[in-house]
């Protein structure tokens, strides 16, 4: 178990926790190689900037959403250790991945400093609860070192903000200077995992380095019992070849956290099994055959 009870206790106390070395060395190496399928390294960008004009056009929004044409990034999106942790935290096995996106930032290409904020406006039509199955879980997997000059995430411990309310979700420095005095930077090695609450104030810091890149993987989890929560329903990406490839290669549990019916679900019958075998010709459907009538 990579995310321990001590990590969970810290998350509940402070509203965030860092899990050092969450990824194994092999998992990190594979993820870094996959990221470079989408984004250039800092060295490559410096050598041939004319090839990457889009990076300079909109450097603050270099995000690619799941599903990926990259097995390691897809695996990390539905990592069994992440699923197991979210199940324990929410107290249910009925959990769903709501968002998964990789993000690149390059020093010297733009300004990345954000206003202190909560993320919930884009993840629910209500306001966030931080208990049981109502909870949404934010995560950042670091594929490069998060240093103080490469735009670290700043967070404010929840014990300092619980009496401040949830509205407004954006708090500019000039109006809330005390909030910024209480922030703490997250400095972490590549392969580490940051978990934080939807009720935790945070922001991206400025990139002050003259050279370098920061690659990270951002995820949000939720309970399926709360349809008013969530960023994505992944069926909207069902026509993408990357999704077909992922579904064919994933485990039943990894499919399930995207909203795919699990083995034993009443959805499965002879007709749907035959049609699924046609839609996903390389998928092992034997787990879904077992127990259906």
At 205-238, the pLDDT tens digits run: 999 999 999 999 999 999 999 999 999 889 999 9
> Domain segments of the chain: what residues?
5-233
pLDDT score, position 243? 97
Averaged pLDDT, 68-96 = 97
pLDDT at 122 over 60: yes
Does the structure show a pLDDT above 60 at 186? yes
Banded model confidence at residue 291, pLDDT cuts 50, 70, 90: low
pTM to 2 decimals? 0.95
The pLDDT of 168-179, averaged and rounded, is: 96
Res 248: pLDDT: 97
pLDDT of residue 143: 98
- pLDDT at site 117: 97
Longest dimension (CA), the chain: 64
CB 173 within 8 A of CB 180: yes
**Sequence-ordered list of residues with C-beta below 8 angstroms from that of 45, at least 6 positions apart, any chain:** 52, 55, 106, 213
59 pLDDT exceeds 80? yes
Please give the pLDDT value at position 290: 83
> Top-level CATH class of 5-233?
mainly beta
User: What is the pLDDT at residue 192?
Assistant: 98
Residue ranges of E strands in the chain: 16-19, 63-65, 95-106, 116-117, 137-142, 153-155, 170-171, 184-185, 193-197, 202-204, 213-223
Q: What is the mean pLDDT of residues 130-147?
A: 97
């Amino acid at each position: 178990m990579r995310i321990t009870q001590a990590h969970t206790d810290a998350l509940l106390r402070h509203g965030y926790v860092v899990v050092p070395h969450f990824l194994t060395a092999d998992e990190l190496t594979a993820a870094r190689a996959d990221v470079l399928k989408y984004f250039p390294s800092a060295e490559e960008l410096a050598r041939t900037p004319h090839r990457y004009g889009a990076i300079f056009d909109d450097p603050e929004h270099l995000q690619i959403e799941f599903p990926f044409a990259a097995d390691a990034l897809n695996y990390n999106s539905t990592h069994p250790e992440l699923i197991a942790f979210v199940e324990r935290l929410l107290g249910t096995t009925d959990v769903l991945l709501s968002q998964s996106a990789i993000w690149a930032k390059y020093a010297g290409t733009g300004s990345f400093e954000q206003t202190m904020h909560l993320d919930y406006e884009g993840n629910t039509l209500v306001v966030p609860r931080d208990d049981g199955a109502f909870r949404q879980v934010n995560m950042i997997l670091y594929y490069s070192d998060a240093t103080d000059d490469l735009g670290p995430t700043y967070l404010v411990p929840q014990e300092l903000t619980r009496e401040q309310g949830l509205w407004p979700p954006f708090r500019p420095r000039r109006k809330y200077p005390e909030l910024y005095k209480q922030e703490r930077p997250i400095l972490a090695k590549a392969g580490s995992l940051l978990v934080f609450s939807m009720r935790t104030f945070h922001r991206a810091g400025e990139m002050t380095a003259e050279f370098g890149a920061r690659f990270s993987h951002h995820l949000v989890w939720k309970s399926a019992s709360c349809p008013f929560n969530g960023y994505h329903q992944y069926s909207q990406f069902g026509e993408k070849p990357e999704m077909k490839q992922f579904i064919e290669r994933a485990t039943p549990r990894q499919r399930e956290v995207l909203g795919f019916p699990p083995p034993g679900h009443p959805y499965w019958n002879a007709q749907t099994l035959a049609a699924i075998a046609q839609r996903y010709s390389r998928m092992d459907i034997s787990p879904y055959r077992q127990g259906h009538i």
